[in-house]
A and B are shown apart, each in its own frame.
Chain A
């Protein structure tokens, strides 16, 4: 339900802005920035408060790190192909867009903030808009393919495709397929999501600097 409302909010905002009702304080970026800080604090609190945090931590072993590493390396390697196709854009912008891993809310806002200082608000918003679209599309692909992959014993691939969404939106589809290794898959999916959540701001700040 919520994941349908999120893109809807963007379209509502676009429509209201298109009608010319955008108040000035939005353009100043102070309010969006405060909102972003509020969101990051809440996400952090939410992670720390998970009742299953202990068992997730217990299940963590070095082997699990391989999965988010595969997602990051695989995504970035193939995104590099995109930099060769879209030669008009700076390759670091395309890499920053690719390193959202489906986290369209945070990645687009971060790109808008990081790029604003160097290229101006308009160019930054344009890159951020592509980041938003690209990562919304990735979440949609994940929503449509996770169950299919997981049912065929490709749970690990399903987690990787889901990107950041392996820990929330796509989790029920990854583990709902009724395989015997479900419990281990939950830990892998949550750990994968958490590591990617940390890596998104790090990678975007690297590519945007």
Chain B
């Protein structure tokens, strides 16, 4: 029912990114005002990059193993 009230949808498409902006800005504030985080950023950055790369690699490996199964099992398109 809500789907037909496009006014709310329009409002949401504006307020959702705005909420994320405010949230992220406040998150940045808490990092920036914390010296112990800032002094570790080079070490943490390396860790973050490694975790991200491993996550992506894991996704590719898992879907490659299951791709035939995912694509075929349903039969008709």
Whether A126 pairs with B26 at a CB distance below 8 angstroms is: no
Interface flag for A85 (CB, 8 Å): yes
Residues of the A chain whose Cβ atoms lie less than 8 Å from the Cβ of B45: 133
Q: How far apart sit A136 and B20, CA to CA, in the bound complex (Å)? A: 14
Partner of B77, one of A13, A78, A184: A184
Residues of the A chain whose Cβ atoms lie less than 8 Å from the Cβ of B77: 181, 184
Residues of the B chain whose Cβ atoms lie less than 8 Å from the Cβ of A141: 52-53, 56
Q: Which of A44-52, A170-178, A200-208 contacts B (4 or more CB under 8 A)?
A: A44-52
Whether A78 pairs with B54 at a CB distance below 8 angstroms is: yes
Chain B nearest CB from A31 CB (Å) reads 7
Residues of the B chain whose Cβ atoms lie less than 8 Å from the Cβ of A133: 44-45, 48-49
- B17 to chain A: closest residue by CB: A2
Whether A17 pairs with B31 at a CB distance below 8 angstroms is: yes
Q: How far apart sit A76 and B57, CA to CA, in the bound complex (Å)? A: 11
Kindly identify, within residues 43 to 81 of chain A, every residue whose CB is under 8 Å from any CB belonging to chain B: 43, 45-46, 48-51, 53, 61, 63, 66-67, 70-71, 73-79, 81
Interface flag for A195 (CB, 8 Å): no
Q: Looking at chain A's contact residues, is the secondary structure mostly helix, strand, loop, or mixed? A: helix
Whether A109 pairs with B23 at a CB distance below 8 angstroms is: yes
Residues of the B chain whose Cβ atoms lie less than 8 Å from the Cβ of A92: none
Given A133-B45, A160-B63, the answer on whether A45 and B24 have CB atoms closer than 8 Å is no
Whether A51 pairs with B3 at a CB distance below 8 angstroms is: yes
Whether B28 pairs with A10 at a CB distance below 8 angstroms is: yes
Residues of the A chain whose Cβ atoms lie less than 8 Å from the Cβ of B59: 70-71, 74-75, 157, 160-161, 163
Kindly identify, within residues 13 to 40 of chain B, every residue whose CB is under 8 Å from any CB belonging to chain A: 13, 15-17, 19-34, 36-38, 40
Chain B nearest CB from A143 CB (Å) reads 12
Whether A49 pairs with B62 at a CB distance below 8 angstroms is: no
Interface flag for A130 (CB, 8 Å): yes
Question: Which residues in B have some Cβ–Cβ distance to A below 8 Å?
Answer: 2-3, 8-9, 12-13, 15-17, 19-34, 36-38, 40-41, 44-45, 47-67, 69-71, 73-74, 77
12 A/B residue pairs, CB under 8 Å, sorted by A:
A13-B27, A26-B26, A66-B70, A70-B65, A126-B40, A130-B44, A134-B48, A134-B51, A138-B56, A159-B63, A160-B60, A160-B63
Please give 12 more A-B residue pairs, beta carbons under 8 A apart, in addition to A6-B24, A13-B31, A35-B26: A5-B21, A39-B20, A63-B70, A67-B66, A73-B62, A79-B58, A82-B51, A126-B37, A138-B56, A141-B52, A156-B71, A159-B63
